[in-house]
């Protein structure tokens, strides 16, 4: 029996795809292992969104390829967005690579391994399949699990390659999502993170309406499900009904990730974003007005072609006047095959870097001010691990891996996976600290 390891790079959507591949492996032929040094088969699930992600993917592939001579590795397969985007180039330039599995062909994992062993160099990139995003078996279940509700994207932002790799939005049937979450909860999951390329577009292709609200309502009935967190909610279809459901649904955390990208209308138009600064400001105002202690996360793309000093200053003014709890900034990366790559007035890397640095410095001050307001509050915290002299956990403010943590001091022994109430006594720009009060029911 061959041992198979899957190495995942990029975003949380890739984590879901890797879990799918793991669940689909033929149990009579393959056994999964977390150890790449013990694996005869390695699948690298790559990211190809920006230059830095592509470089990381290539470096990882080359590093693992050496295991063909230094370890047990027999077959190296490349999956994910970079593999979908450059299949021929990767196979030609990296002779150790034995095949390609595009993100729309997760169900081909067994055939791809078999084809690779037959020296066929299989390539699965021709089309986007729709059935692979149905329910799948997970060998292991954690207290927190990501659940993908759709794939692809209907937007055509001029800087983004994703729709050209994954196609238009393809929503999963609501029944399949609910069934998957029920199974996860039955096996111990308590926090579910809903993800998609654009979660607010969920359902439009299946039901003729934006149906994220309907999905959230259905999740109310899953008794042991404690937290529902929503990522990648684009602002253009974020309506009052969704805000109301977030406010009234006890399982939905007062947390939202909204990719804003910019605050200058000139740049937003050039990006082909379907919103403007006023609409974004009004959305954030409604969220904060309707949902007490609302936590908002976002990302900004700086140095877009034609972005002037005045355009950048609008971003700086925006985060000063419309504070965001958590925000990251990325320098624009020129991606071949996108309209923005051919635009005039490309910004020098040095200027892009300075703008990202200035943004993050200002955002840190903004975040510090917002975080200090939590001192004195009692927050529910999910304990994740033991820390130095205490425990580490996450509150509703903290999506795993991308946000901060809560350090918890407790004389009582706490276990990972437990929910406890913590009195917040200290704050920094990204993290909180506090004292254990009691366990949450």
Which positions make up the binding site for [4Fe-4S] cluster?
Answer: 11, 47, 81, 153, 157, 160
How many whole angstroms separate alpha carbon 192 and alpha carbon 253?
Answer: 10
- Which of 296, 337, 305, 17 is closest to 152 using CA atoms? 17
- Residue 174 CB burial class (10 angstroms; 0-12, 13-18, ≥19): middle
Residues 6+ apart with CB under 8 A from 413: none
- Residue 301's SS3 state is strand
Per-position b or e across 50-85, b if 16+ CB within 10 A of its CB: beebbebbbebbeebbebbeebbbbbbbbbbbbbbb
Please enumerate, by residue number, every residue annotated as part of a binding site: 11, 47, 81, 153, 157, 160
Q: Which residues pair with 32 in a beta bridge?
A: 4
Q: Which pair of tokens denotes residue 240?
A: 């009052």
Structure tokens that stand for 300 in this block: 């900004």
Contact partners, residue 351, CB within 8 Å, separation at least 6: 303
**Beta-bridge partners for 390:** 387
DSSP tag of 132:
G
CB 47 within 8 A of CB 9: yes
Query: Rounded to whole angstroms, how far apart are CA atoms 69 and 88?
Result: 23
How many CA within 13 A on the CB side of residue 38?
10
Nearest to 109 by CA among 124, 90, 98, 121: 124
* H-only helix segments in 95-235: 109-117, 162-166, 174-186, 204-207, 212-219
Q: Are 159 and 193 in contact (CB under 8 A)?
A: no
């Amino acid at each position: 029996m061959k041992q198979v390891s899957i190495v995942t790079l990029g975003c949380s959507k890739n984590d879901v795809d890797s879990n799918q591949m793991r669940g689909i492996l033929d149990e009579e032929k393959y056994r999964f292992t977390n150890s790449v040094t013990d694996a005869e088969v390695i699948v690298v699930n790559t990211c190809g969104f920006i230059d830095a992600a592509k470089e990381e993917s290539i470096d990882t592939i080359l590093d693992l390829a050496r295991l063909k001579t230094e370890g047990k590795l027999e077959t190296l397969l490349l999956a994910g967005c970079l593999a979908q985007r450059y299949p021929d180039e990767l196979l030609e330039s990296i002779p150790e690579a034995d095949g390609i599995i595009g993100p729309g062909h997760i169900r081909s994992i067994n055939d791809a391994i078999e084809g690779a062993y037959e020296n066929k160099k299989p390539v699965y990139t021709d089309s986007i399949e729709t059935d692979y995003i149905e329910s799948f078996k997970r060998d292991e279940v954690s207290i927190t699990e990501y659940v993908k509700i759709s794939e692809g994207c209907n937007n055509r932002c001029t800087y983004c390659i994703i729709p050209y790799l994954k196609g238009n939005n393809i929503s999963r049937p609501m029944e399949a999502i609910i069934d998957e979450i029920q199974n996860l909860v039955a096996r111990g999951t308590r926090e579910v993170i809903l993800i998609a390329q654009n979660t607010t577009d969920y359902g439009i292709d299946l039901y003729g309406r934006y149906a994220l609200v309907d999905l959230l309502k259905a999740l109310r009935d899953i008794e042991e499900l404690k937290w529902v967190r929503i990522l990648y909610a684009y602002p253009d279809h974020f309506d009052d009904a969704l805000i109301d459901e977030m406010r009234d649904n006890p399982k939905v955390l007062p947390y939202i990730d909204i990719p804003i990208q910019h605050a200058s209308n000139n740049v937003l138009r050039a990006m082909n974003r379907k919103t403007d600064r006023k609409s974004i400001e009004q959305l954030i105002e409604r969220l904060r007005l309707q949902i007490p202690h609302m936590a908002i996360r976002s990302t900004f793309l700086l140095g877009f072609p034609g972005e002037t000093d005045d355009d950048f200053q609008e971003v700086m003014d925006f985060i000063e006047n419309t504070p965001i709890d958590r925000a990251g900034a990325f320098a624009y990366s020129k991606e071949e095959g996108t309209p923005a790559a051919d635009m005039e007035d490309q910004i020098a890397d040095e200027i892009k870097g300075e703008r990202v640095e200035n943004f993050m410095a200002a955002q840190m001050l903004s975040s510090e001010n917002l975080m200090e307001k939590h001192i004195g509050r009692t927050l529910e915290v999910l304990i994740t691990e033991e820390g130095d002299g205490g425990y580490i956990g996450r509150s509703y403010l903290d999506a795993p891996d991308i946000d901060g943590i809560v350090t918890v001091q407790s004389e009582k022994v706490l276990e990972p996976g437990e929910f406890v109430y913590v009195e917040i006594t200290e704050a920094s720009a990204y993290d909180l600290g506090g004292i254990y009060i009691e366990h949450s029911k």
